[in-house]
Chains A and B, each alone.
Chain A
Amino acid sequence: MKAVFIPKENFPKVLERWLSSYEILGPVERYGEIVLQPLTKESLKDVRLGENRASISIKPLFLPQTECMFVYKSEPLKVEIDSSKPVPTLVLGVRACDLKAIELLDKVLLEEPADFYYLEKRKNTFLISVDCEEPLDVCFCALVGVNPYPERGFTINLSKLEGGYLAEPGDEKGAELFEQVKEFTIEATPEHFSPREERRRALLEKFKGERLKELEKKILSRDERYWEELSKRCIQCGGCAFVCPTCYCFYVIDKRMSPEDWLRERGWDSCLFEAYQRMTSGENPRKTLASRLVQRFNHKCVYFKEQYGEYMCVGCGRCIEVCPGRIDIREILEE
């Protein structure tokens, strides 16, 4: 599989070609912010790859906030699962932090037995990532060991260069997509790669601060008082978990839709909610908010590491942006 160079003027043509066989979601500006929207022929020109990452990750594409799992009739029991396959979709403009997050989500949700709903969407969604150009104030991916440019996990990665994009395929699908747009691309040469490495080095320089290491030690060394103080800021909105590209907890509920029909639905949940860990008896081992904050950070830095060998934070900084209590995860992970 070979990398190609897409001259700037050809880029819309490339997208247009792909649009004929795929749905494409891409970052566009609407009401002053970057949001992922389905692209049409007309809106291709509005794609904004050079901006900062979107404020919402791509997690909801695979794990929607609320999702119908199946519908059923109770007497006699008859279950119906929507078996229509998701439309093959290209997602344009994915950042390295989100790719890393999907890699972590895959570990949990594709572990046998795989999560059926997640798997179906994963199989039919292809990620076209892009190198970041500028970190946001809250970005700290590089400080937790995630480079701000994609290195794996993509179908295609785009690196902006003078006059166009260096496009690298990451899997068979990427090569197939290149094949479709052959006439708009040229073969990439070392002259394309060396300025990219230059840009990447310069980008890394922009991340200030100490590399955050041995997170489990830091979290475990925090005493009760620390969490108690932190809990005074938490307003229990759940936003940090909802917006976190690696948080995957969900509740499951059966809803009665008519006297005979039921719907089983799942939706985003958060370990910061009191009822999340409340037992049926009413007992709750994590009754205090402080103890739930301990749980949240232990899961990210200790338990997940024990289970999967990595930390469950990609440094995207979104939890900092959404927190009304101004809790900054960087401060918690620092000395």
Chain B
Amino acid sequence: MSRKAVPTVCPYCGVGCGIWLQVENGRLIGVTPRSSHEISRGMLCVKGWTSHEFVMSAERLTKPLIKRNGKFEEISWDEALKIVAGKLKEYKETYGPEAIGILSSAKCTNEENYLVMKFARAVLGTNNIDHCARLCHASTVVGLMKTFGSGAATNSVNELENSDCILVTGSNTTEEHPIIAHYIIKAKDKGAKLIVVDPRFIPLAQIADFYLRQKPGTDVAWLNGFMNVILEEGLEDKRFIQERTEGFEELERTVRKYTPEYVEKITGIPKESLIAAAKTFALAERAAIVYAMGITQHTTGVDNVISIANLAMLTGNIGRESTGVFPLRGQSNVQGACDMGALPDFYSGYQRVEDPDVRAKFERAWGVNLPPTPGLTVLEMMDKALEGKLKAIYIIGENPMLSDPDISHTEKALKNLEFLVVQDIFLTETAQLADIVLPATSFAEKDGTITNTDRLVQRIRKAIEPIGESKPDWQILCELAKEMGAQGFDYTSPAEIMEEIASLTPIYGGIDYERLEKGGLRWPCPSKEHPGTPYLHKEKFTRGKGKFIGVEFKEPAELPNEEYPFTLTTGRIGFHYHTGTMTRRTTLLDREVPTGYVEINPADAKKLNIRDGEVVVVSSPRGEIKVKAFVTERVTEGVIFIPFHFSECPANCLTNLALDPLAKIPEFKACAAKVEKVSIKKGG
């Protein structure tokens, strides 16, 4: 019998926990935690503990597929690559490169994301490349760039345990980033104050010193309220403001009117709680802010993030250990996919495509001319597809048919394409619409690096051979590029790709596989001698001075009304992950929560005569779904919550396509909805 244990990184959220994959006779039989791992230190959540199972699923794609007469047939790799290369070439020549778009994957490695962006720009000649960060942290990238000059988490996760006060908002940390919740719990045990601001009574609220429940979509108001109180009490960090920042006067003017009374009216947060929590935050020696999609997925996503940055700067909680701003990343490599430039406006390392010097550098390195203007974002691609201007999309490891807002819109768009290629490990809802499906390998079957939520670049390692004829995404990309006649895709290993990344990407300049053998490295890591950067903005901000930007509260795009009296907010649960492609193929996880539900307050349920467990109809102006009612005080009256993982009751049939004007992130967290009994619906 052959046994081995392979050290790698969990494929789920952005925490980047260390796991050993247990291999027996070439098959994965289990997962154990890496006790010496710098972040997870021997702990895992239930998804991590069971992350080997989906890899061995019988539903894995094992051969390329082509759709003929509405049915998929298996074809050879040679054929598949010829067809894809031929089509892409044809569209490029006939309609121009702008008629093609690529969606990259936050599940793929840095090396793969780099190759996807190189393929889009150097081979196809388009900047139409984006990925799911658009739907989760686009507002973070924009908001923190504007204020700090860098769109990533400012500090390392481990530092949280020594914070004196932690403000958690729009993040159900216990369920979505459990090992970060561990550090919050540890900090609390060491005496830190915990403030939770969330429309739902999340698990962390149980142990919080302050739990403030705001109405969905009113974050700018309460954040301005916090700052109003802090200024009123004279608790701002005057020295930090003077030495390290600019724009303070503008902020002061803006937040003046956000008195606790005014904020209470907008948000529903009692003014006494707001004052007490704000003071506690300001008085802490080291305070940190942890947030996730409850902040970013709004039409005011960028405003929300800017407000968080304002609060951190106002209290001098940037550039020191155990302080800072933590946007928690949802996917194992969503940070890395951004870092690698799987974005319409950036090359790797956040180097702008419009910058002629940057472009010249990449043109020299790749030996081609590159397109000078930013391309389309995820949702803009869907719009252009619907208009018929985008002819072909190549989707790698993403499932917009469940993850995009207003799915019927996405479906129409994808069906309107002339050519859709999907590369994935399962035949997802999106892959079912494809003309060609390419079977990729999972994390367990390839080497590479991924970058976690606190900028830690880590190695993932191949534990087993590819399942069936599946191939690592980087190999598929290289073969496709060569099939299209491109130069510069002759890599023999991911390590070789990393060498190229390091040579063109200053923040990754010092990263190589040999160094990573000794442990992860946090970027910026500009040279081989550089030890990496545990926390950012130490002496000065990446942009020089931190910039305060006063922002006014704006209502969500769609408010409850007579016909749709509820505010629907969507999100995730601890046992499932994103569109469920992996967790719903994991016995324990799928058994634990086998389908979706709508959380509704007991008072609302009573009014509507709805019992716990009863199937109800939830609808919005965009669609309706049937889903089980979960009567619970986790949500307050007038608010309902639906997890979005489940294709049989897809919350995103209901969500609003309204976008943040800058980040182009949709408003997943607030739209109008109604709940009805099934019987009434039938009768009516």
Chain A residues proximal to chain B, CB less than 8 Å? 23, 25, 30-33, 35-38, 55-56, 60, 64-67, 86-87, 232-233, 235-239, 242, 251, 253, 255-258, 263, 265, 267, 269, 273-275, 282, 321-326
The answer to whether B592 and A275 touch across the interface, beta carbons within 8 angstroms, is yes
- Using a CB-CB cutoff of 8 Å, which residues 553-604 of chain B contact chain A? 574, 587-588, 591-594
* In the complex, the 7 A-B pairs of residues with the closest C-beta atoms, listed nearest first: A65-B30, A32-B36, A324-B182, A55-B35, A33-B36, A232-B206, A257-B58
Q: Is B26 an interface residue (CB 8 A)?
A: no
| Residues on B with beta carbons closer than 8 Å to the beta carbon of A38 | 2-4
The answer to whether B1 and A326 touch across the interface, beta carbons within 8 angstroms, is no
Interface stretch, picked from B37-45, B210-218, B321-329, B480-488, is: B37-45
In the complex, per-residue mask of B335-354: 1 if CB is within 8 Å of any chain A CB, else 0 = 00000000000000000000
The answer to whether B52 and A256 touch across the interface, beta carbons within 8 angstroms, is no
A237 is contacted by which of B22, B32, B44 (Cβ under 8 Å)?
Answer: B44
| Residues on B with beta carbons closer than 8 Å to the beta carbon of A66 | 29-30, 52-53
> B interface, how many residues as a size bin?
35 or more
A-B contact pairs, 25 of them (CB 8 A): A23-B1, A30-B7, A31-B34, A33-B34, A37-B4, A38-B3, A60-B30, A65-B30, A232-B203, A232-B207, A235-B178, A235-B182, A235-B203, A238-B46, A239-B33, A256-B58, A263-B58, A273-B588, A273-B592, A274-B592, A322-B44, A324-B43, A324-B178, A325-B185, A326-B182
| Residues on B with beta carbons closer than 8 Å to the beta carbon of A239 | 33, 43-44, 49
Please measure, in the bound complex, the distance between the C-alpha atom of A41 and the C-alpha atom of B42, giving whole angstroms: 30
| Residues on A with beta carbons closer than 8 Å to the beta carbon of B179 | 324
Please measure, in the bound complex, the distance between the C-alpha atom of A90 and the C-alpha atom of B53, giving whole angstroms: 28
In the complex, per-residue mask of B456-471: 1 if CB is within 8 Å of any chain A CB, else 0 = 0000000000000000
The answer to whether B186 and A326 touch across the interface, beta carbons within 8 angstroms, is yes
| Residues on A with beta carbons closer than 8 Å to the beta carbon of B34 | 31, 33
Q: Contacts A267-B587, A321-B42, A322-B43; is A55 near B33 (CB within 8 Å)?
A: yes
The answer to whether A251 and B7 touch across the interface, beta carbons within 8 angstroms, is no
Mostly helix, strand, loop or mixed at chain B's interface?
A: mixed
B49 is contacted by which of A237, A253, A275 (Cβ under 8 Å)?
Answer: A237
Please measure, in the bound complex, the distance between the C-alpha atom of A95 and the C-alpha atom of B565, giving whole angstroms: 62
Q: Contacts A30-B7, A66-B29, A251-B587; is A236 near B46 (CB within 8 Å)?
A: yes
User: Which residue among A60, A258, A322 has the maximum number of chain B CB atoms within 10 Å of its CB?
Assistant: A322
Q: Is B291 an interface residue (CB 8 A)?
A: no
Please measure, in the bound complex, the distance between the C-alpha atom of A239 and the C-alpha atom of B574, giving whole angstroms: 14
Instruction: List 9 additional A-B contacts (Cβ < 8 Å) besides A55-B33, A253-B587.
Output: A33-B36, A37-B4, A55-B35, A235-B174, A235-B181, A235-B574, A269-B588, A322-B42, A324-B185
Chain B residues proximal to chain A, CB less than 8 Å? 1-5, 7, 20, 22, 24, 29-36, 42-46, 48-49, 52-53, 58, 174-175, 178-179, 181-182, 185-186, 189, 203, 206-207, 574, 587-588, 591-594, 613
Minimal beta-carbon separation of B19 from chain A (angstroms):
12
The answer to whether A65 and B31 touch across the interface, beta carbons within 8 angstroms, is yes
Minimal beta-carbon separation of B25 from chain A (angstroms):
11
Please measure, in the bound complex, the distance between the C-alpha atom of A242 and the C-alpha atom of B1, giving whole angstroms: 23
Please measure, in the bound complex, the distance between the C-alpha atom of A86 and the C-alpha atom of B24, giving whole angstroms: 12
Minimal beta-carbon separation of B523 from chain A (angstroms):
21
Please measure, in the bound complex, the distance between the C-alpha atom of A56 and the C-alpha atom of B189, giving whole angstroms: 26
| Residues on B with beta carbons closer than 8 Å to the beta carbon of A255 | 58
B185 is contacted by which of A25, A253, A326 (Cβ under 8 Å)?
Answer: A326
Please measure, in the bound complex, the distance between the C-alpha atom of A258 and the C-alpha atom of B174, giving whole angstroms: 37
| Residues on A with beta carbons closer than 8 Å to the beta carbon of B189 | 326
| Residues on A with beta carbons closer than 8 Å to the beta carbon of B58 | 255-258, 263
A55 is contacted by which of B22, B42, B207 (Cβ under 8 Å)?
Answer: B42
Q: Contacts A232-B206, A324-B185; is A60 near B22 (CB within 8 Å)?
A: yes
Q: Contacts A232-B206, A237-B49, A242-B49; is A35 near B20 (CB within 8 Å)?
A: yes
Minimal beta-carbon separation of B71 from chain A (angstroms):
16
| Residues on B with beta carbons closer than 8 Å to the beta carbon of A257 | 58
The answer to whether A31 and B36 touch across the interface, beta carbons within 8 angstroms, is yes
The answer to whether B203 and A33 touch across the interface, beta carbons within 8 angstroms, is no
| Residues on A with beta carbons closer than 8 Å to the beta carbon of B594 | 275
| Residues on B with beta carbons closer than 8 Å to the beta carbon of A258 | 58
The answer to whether B43 and A323 touch across the interface, beta carbons within 8 angstroms, is yes
Please measure, in the bound complex, the distance between the C-alpha atom of A37 and the C-alpha atom of B206, giving whole angstroms: 42
Minimal beta-carbon separation of A231 from chain B (angstroms):
9
Please measure, in the bound complex, the distance between the C-alpha atom of A282 and the C-alpha atom of B630, giving whole angstroms: 13
Please measure, in the bound complex, the distance between the C-alpha atom of A16 and the C-alpha atom of B182, giving whole angstroms: 44
Minimal beta-carbon separation of A129 from chain B (angstroms):
20
